[in-house]
Amino acid sequence: METTETQLNFFERLNVWLQESISVKLVSIGFMIVLLLLPSALVNELMRERQLRAERVVQEVAGKWSESQTLSGPILVIPYKVKTQTDRGKNGIEIEEHVENYFLLPESLHITGEVKPKELHRGIYDAVVYSSSLHAQAQFTKPDLKSKNIANDMVLWKDASMIFSITDLRGISENPKFTVDGVSVATEPSSDVGIFVRNFFNDYTDSEGNTRPPLPDSKADFSSGGIVAKLGWQSEADFKTSASIDLELKGSDRLFFNPTGKTTTLQLSSPWSSPSFDGSFLPEVREVSDKGFNANWKILHFNRPIAQAWTESNSKLTGSEFGVRFLIPVDQYQKSIRTAKYGHLIIILTFVALFLVEIIKRIKIHPFQYILIAAALIIYYTLLLSFSEQFGYNTAYLMASVATISLICFYSFSFLKDKKLVALFVFLLTLFYSFIFVIVLLQDYSLLIGSVGLFVIIGALMFFARKINWYGEMR
């Protein structure tokens, strides 16, 4: 009987120690925080899933309008015959003839354009598309064919052409107006400008009536599509130095250009008030206001990794694209994800605040009550995400914060009892959420503000914890 009583007294003492021990309380709170990492991770995954879904919907909407556009040209293409000799031994010398291409870029290229973006909507998602009116004026100099070891009698002037590369031909909304020295020239589309240049001369036969062998693949790198104008020159005397094109072009997200001129200038204007100038070159002059933007670029051939003239060798037109992106000012998903990254910090600070109140004011808070409060803090981020899709991030942050703080405020009356303690707890939660909101908005200064804020919070915790005797009664 005494043994049973001794055991009972031991368990009673153990139970009292578990309830009163500060160390046990801290360990249990830490364990709960670790358990809450799982639902927090699920919330972050939900946000990324919604962001990916939004991006897919936007791409689908934009794809039905027209993809982003990158323009290159005009580029002069002059074919020429090449003869090769092969020693066949006893069979003698075999002479083969095939056609290659000489590519020439403009001496100067001046492009002006007006871009009119607009937003298309599908459900709760928005996509930016645009219509543009572009005019390109190019000046050429006569090609120095001798520098490429091309004889005049080998040049096929009658098959010369000009090409203008366009990423997505679906964006052409009116027939392009292509002129050479002021004379209108007929054009035709090509789904692949590079293939067109290679296959343009498939019907060529030599002077003996023999069809030339298939051309090797050209390594010149063009965009996926474009327009081609056959010039119909008969000889070098027909060479024209100027060309222009007027183009009505649709696209989405961005409008980029290749600096194909030895000197390339671009002037763009638009009523869009939130452009992002991107690519290899930024505008020399830009004016951005609520009414739109005007931007001017100037690129010299010293600035670009592009040859002025080349034959069918490993020459590329990529790597120097520049232009403008049309952005939707508010990206609620990125801001929501950034906010959710501070979810663990909010939970830790809230738990620490409750723990200090519990220790200092001798109020017992059950672990399940901690869990309910943490659940409200986690659900907060799903509220933020769902509200932001409907009302925008700033309004959603206010709505979700007020709803969550109000819920926790009413629930805290059940264990804090004192209205002053509840008011203090609500004030701390409001302070925490305001702190996170400032960090998210001031992205460039988030590290500075976050570091200073956390330093102040740690200082406040030290101040309030100074009265606690961690090994016994409070002082």
H or E element that contains 244: strand 242-252
Q: Residue holding tokens 């709505």?
A: 399
Helix, strand, coil content of the chain in percent (nearest 5): 45, 30, 25
Report CA-CA distances (Å) from 397 to 324, 349, 394: 31, 19, 5
- CA 277, CA 362: separation in Å to the nearest integer? 60
Q: Under a CB-based contact definition with an 8 Å cutoff, are residues 135 and 244 in contact?
A: yes
SS3 86: strand
Walk along the chain (475 residues) and give the pLDDT tens digit of each residue. Answer: 444 444 456 445 545 555 555 666 666 667 776 776 677 677 777 777 777 777 777 777 777 788 888 898 899 988 888 887 776 666 667 777 788 888 889 999 999 999 998 887 776 677 788 999 999 999 999 888 888 888 888 888 888 888 888 888 888 888 899 998 888 888 888 765 654 444 433 343 444 444 443 333 333 444 557 888 888 888 888 888 899 999 999 988 889 999 999 999 999 999 988 888 988 899 999 999 988 999 999 999 888 888 888 886 556 666 788 999 887 755 677 777 777 777 777 877 887 777 777 777 777 777 778 788 888 888 888 888 888 878 888 888 899 889 988 998 888 888 777 788 888 888 888 888 888 888 777 766 667 777 787 788 778 777 776 766 666 544 4
| Exposure class string for 369-380: b at 16+ Cβ within 10 A, else e | ebeebbebbbbb
Q: Closest Cα partner for 204 from 348, 332, 81, 350?
A: 81
Q: Under a CB-based contact definition with an 8 Å cutoff, are residues 67 and 252 in contact?
A: yes
**pTM of the entire structure?**
0.66
Q: Under a CB-based contact definition with an 8 Å cutoff, are residues 335 and 124 in contact?
A: no
SS3 475: coil
The three-point CA angle 54-60-64 to 5° equals 150
- CA 475, CA 472: separation in Å to the nearest integer? 9
Q: Under a CB-based contact definition with an 8 Å cutoff, are residues 75 and 258 in contact?
A: no
